[in-house]
Structure 1
Amino acid sequence: MSDAMARAQRDPSITRPRRRHGAAPRRRLSWRRWLVGGGIAVTVAAGIGLVAWAGGPGVLAKRGVAACDRLLIAHGFAVRRVTFTGAQRTPAKAIARAAAIDGTRSILALDLDAIRARVEALPWVRRAAVTRLLPGTVRIDVEERHAIAVWQHKGRLWLIDEDGAPIMAARADAHPDLGLVVGAGANVAAAELRRMLGREQALAARVKAAVRVGERRWDLAFDSGTVVALPETAPDAAWRKLAAMQARHGLLDQGYGRLDLRQPGLLVARPAKAGPVRRQAAGNERAT
């Protein structure tokens, strides 16, 4: 220890040099100023909002809300950035238009539930979440629907999702990769049909349309012109049996107009042209 420091400790009249006022790092002061200013703004805004709420929906209330917003924006709570995640088919511009965040309201004054409802009204959006990231960012997370089929009903075509809900109108030739389901109730049953057909993919690739009959069962129209009637009960078993018979004997390519599998253990075949109806046990896979 130096002699000067030792004397300073022994002699109380010798004082240590004080840090000059205002010499704190500029960043720390800026952060404190932001906190103090923001706290004052929020407190005053809350007071104005309380007065506006108490005054009802009159002119005074509207002026109070506007003054509240201006104060919050002036103290750093303006919306400076809006981000989107999860959107593939929905353009960011469409989400921005639906959100309608134009910068005239402070971030604390935004009605997040109303923004979410407007975004979820977009055709491809299943769910949306809207989050404030203070002081000035709004994040919109989107979960989109997945189209599984085209639904034909009452002369119109619709893209439908896994729940059978219409997404948007469709053109007949716009979605060749999606199956066509037809009739009342076909949209609701389409997801289960899709799973069933997927178990025999080679045969499923030849299905051109699936017609819902009485909202109970399916008629499948194939590329050969043959229509196959599946039963109401255990259609998956009939589908597997049809795949086995097609693999062994090519039933769909023998000129039949209709193959009826509705009766367990029995196949009823009707020729495409006028001719006798052929019946055989489904277990006997010899083509006739």
Structure 2
Amino acid sequence: MTAASIKRGGNGGTRKPRATVKGKAGKSKPSMLARSIESIPISATAMQRIVTFSILGVAGAAVISIAVMLGLPAYAAAQLSEIVGGAGFAVKRVEVTGIDRMDRLTVYAVALDQKSRAMPLVDLDKVRGELLQYGWIADARVSRRLPDTLVVDIVERKPAAVWQHEQQLSLIDDKGVVLEPVALNAMPDLPLVIGPDANVQATALTDLMGHAPRLKPMLAGATWVGNRRWDLRFQSGEVLALPEGDAPSAKALAKFSAMDGVDRLLGRGFVRFDMRDPAKMFVRVSRDKPRIDKPAGTDNNDDQHNEGVSHNGTAAPRESDHRARYRVVESVCADRRTG
């Protein structure tokens, strides 16, 4: 027997195939997450793209956050603005409107005080804020006019009075804001308010004089006494002492205006009218002048002599507005009363 015909194996027949075992060794069921994903009506390719883009978005946001922390976007924006400025969009002109009393050069200096003249880098809020620090400026509007003009529109305050305090004269508006110093030989034709905090009472004084409009042109100055009431000084030299409080002082001033309209109290040489007592008015005159008749309904609290009437009984000439104001300024320290 040849080697080729020898067969190994006990049975001598063909081997039967193994049976497949069913059960645990079979195909496993998909998980709940997998089943949920399969239920979404989106293809697997689209889902993969969404996941990829989400990962890229998160990474991009992280990169942007780091760049912001390092100041890279601001640097890039500044460089871009400089390029725009180099292309002709840079501040070359400043156009100022609304200026009457304030120095224009001051406005130009503030508007041009910039780290960069490139138009996109001009800080409009900064310019406006610095302008509002000046007393004359009540409001300011700052805008760009491309390609190279900065427009500044100024709203100026209006002077309403001169404030004398601690031997200094200052121009103020109707709200008491100090505008600029005033020289004694260059006082404007405005009322003079005297005393500590008299400037912040300027509005109250304006309202008070509204109760006696015919006396307003005759007013030379007003002293805020003891931080509670007014002494009014008229251009003819007389002083009117008013009571405390807005309503009592307004009532007293209106009454004095009516009495002056009937008896012409001002310009007759009286020195002082005291209306702090609501029941009566006291009148004081000088000791070294001829006697004059007192106004009806008044009492004297001093000798009845006249300082401003000529010897023949006629009224002395009234001083000019400016001379009256100078006399108020020069004599107020000696004539101030505590009230």
TM-score norm. by structure 1 comes to 0.68
User: How far apart, in 1, do the equivalents of 2:295 and 2:274 lie?
Assistant: 9
Within 5 Å, which residues of 2 pair with 1:221-260? 221-233=233-245, 234-260=248-274
Aligned residues: CA RMSD: 3.1
Query: Quick one: structure 1 residues 76 and 53, their matched pair in 2 at CA, closer, same or farther if it must change by over 3 Å?
Result: farther
Please say if residues 80 and 103 of structure 1, whose CA atoms lie closer than 8 Å, have aligned partners that are also in contact.
no
More strand by share: 1
Within 5 Å, which residues of 2 pair with 1:1-288? 54-55=69-70, 67-100=79-112, 104-233=116-245, 234-273=248-287, 281=297
Query: Quick one: structure 1 residues 201 and 148, their matched pair in 2 at CA, closer, same or farther if it must change by over 3 Å?
Result: same
Q: What are the superposed Cα offsets for residues 62-109 of structure 1, whole Å, 9 maximum, x if unpaired?
A: 986763343111344322433222222123332111212579521111
How big is the shift at 1:202?
4.0
Structure 1 moving runs of 4+ over 4 Å: 50-54, 60-66, 101-104, 278-282
Moved more, 71-80 or 211-220: 71-80
Q: Identify unmatched segments of 5+ residues in structure 1.
A: 1-49, 283-287
Matched to 2:112, the amino acid is A
Please say if residues 153 and 183 of structure 1, whose CA atoms lie closer than 8 Å, have aligned partners that are also in contact.
yes
Q: What are the superposed Cα offsets for residues 166-206 of structure 1, whole Å, 9 maximum, x if unpaired?
A: 11111123233111000012111112212432554443333
Query: Quick one: structure 1 residues 139 and 227, their matched pair in 2 at CA, closer, same or farther if it must change by over 3 Å?
Result: same
Matched to 1:210, the amino acid is A
User: How far apart, in 1, do the equivalents of 2:90 and 2:268 lie?
Assistant: 72
How big is the shift at 1:279?
10
Q: SS state of the match for residue 117, structure 2?
A: coil
Q: What's 2:53 paired with? A: none
Q: SS state of the match for residue 252, structure 1?
A: coil
Q: SS state of the match for residue 97, structure 1?
A: helix
TM-score norm. by structure 2 comes to 0.59
Report how many aligned residue pairs link the two structures: 229
Q: What's 1:38 paired with? A: none
Larger-gyration structure (1/2) = 2
Q: SS state of the match for residue 148, structure 1?
A: strand
Identical columns (%): 35
